[in-house]
Amino acid sequence: MYLETSGVGLTLIQFHLSAGNPPRKRLFENLASMVGKGDVAQRLCGNLQVDSSKARALLGWTPPFSVEEGLKATVLGLKGD
């Protein structure tokens, strides 16, 4: 695990959080709080579900890519491929 703090925020490198490992999540939240980034930890570990139904209905908006496509592009970008 490697935590880096900067003016931009908290950067996580090679840190795995999962619902199946609550002690690791608590450790991360505690460490983040100690460096003044508890709010960031809450956003990362909390519910990240987004409901776009209102935007779809009112604006006729559709997402430019699926969640799977976005995650794949993110992983490829982080790997540098």
Residues 27 and 39 in one domain: yes
Q: Which domain holds residue 74?
A: 51-81
pLDDT by position in tens, the chain (length 81): 444 444 444 444 334 554 456 778 888 888 989 999 888 888 888 776 778 898 889 999 888 888 889 989 999 888 885
- Identify the pLDDT of residue 81: 59
Orientation of helix 38-45 relative to helix 22-34, angle to 10° = 150
Task: Check residue 15 and give its pLDDT.
Answer: 46
Pair 62, 29 in one domain: no
Domain shared by 43 and 10, yes or no: yes
What is the pLDDT at residue 20? 52
- Judge if 42 and 81 occupy the same domain: no
* Same structural domain, 28 and 58: no
The pLDDT value recorded for residue 57 is 93
Calculate the alpha carbon distances from 38 to 5, 6, 35, 62 in Å.
12, 14, 8, 33
Counting the structural domains of the chain, the total is: 2
For the whole model, what pTM was predicted?
0.36
